[in-house]
Amino acid sequence: MTSSSRHANEAGRIIHRCWTNGEVIEALPDTCRPHTMADGYAAQRALAVTSGDPVRGWKIAATSTAGQRHINVEGPIAGRLLASRVHHSPCEVAFGANRMAVAEAEFAFVMGADLPARGEAYSVEEVLAAVAALHPAIEIPNSRFADFTRAGSAQLAADNACAHEFVLGPATDADWRAIDLAAQRVTLTIDAHLATTGTGADALGDPREALAWIANNHEAQGASLRAGDIVTTGVCGKPSPIAAGNRVAVDFGPIGTAEVTLA
């Protein structure tokens, strides 16, 4: 095992322990702290292996200006959705020791075919041809860092792009391929009160573009998209503050709704 592999494994074990126990750290130790995105993604892969939890899909953090400001980074970061953290709307999810304490309305695609790694970038059209379904979704992120705004992109990649709990709404029965997803209005309510409004354009200009981004980020993230993967494409509107006991609902118009109660 190389020293870089040992460092990635150590970082993955620490993040997994914090996630499992609801603990936070100021930073990863000097002995394993990632300083590049490649190192961060290597630690993320090690985290997934350490967890023993199947990877159910992918998330993209910081696809909007609001999302980038929230975690103080300059561009998107890919993260893995672990199977035990994926829930189906309507549902109840434990709020727990969530220090980030926000909910996000997101477009989520489910892949119907593999998009294997290749040298040439996939076009948006090629990526969409591999999609089986579109779903409304809610992400409830969290970080294992006491101050995630100071962790930096490499450590946040190791922190699985702040992945935590994820709620998948029903697949839409609308002809979503005929809808301008960038212009589609999205609302998020908390206890029936409007918390934020956004559009698909908040996710890298268009959730379809965000999907293509993660399909073409395979070399960095260390894996390609596969049939059955969920890909959630980032916050529409703003990350909205939540607390235990809240009922969070999102409405994507003709695409549908999703909801979760925070136990």
Cβ count near 204 (within 10 Å) = 23
The share of the chain scoring above pLDDT 90, in percent, equals 93
For residue 68, what pLDDT is reported? 86
Q: Is 192 exposed, middle or buried (0-12, 13-18, 19+ CB in 10 A)?
A: exposed
207: pLDDT confidence band, cut at 50, 70 and 90? very high
User: Looking at residues 81-91, what average pLDDT do you find?
Assistant: 98
pLDDT of 3 above 90:
no
36: pLDDT confidence band, cut at 50, 70 and 90? very high
SS3 call for 86: strand
135: pLDDT confidence band, cut at 50, 70 and 90? very high
Phi, psi of 187 (to 5 degrees): -125, 150
174: pLDDT confidence band, cut at 50, 70 and 90? very high
Q: What angle do CA 188, 82, 110 make, to 5 degrees?
A: 65
Which contiguous run of DSSP H or E holds residue 65? helix 65-71
98: pLDDT confidence band, cut at 50, 70 and 90? very high
For residue 67, what pLDDT is reported? 82
* Pair of tokens at residue 150: 């100071």
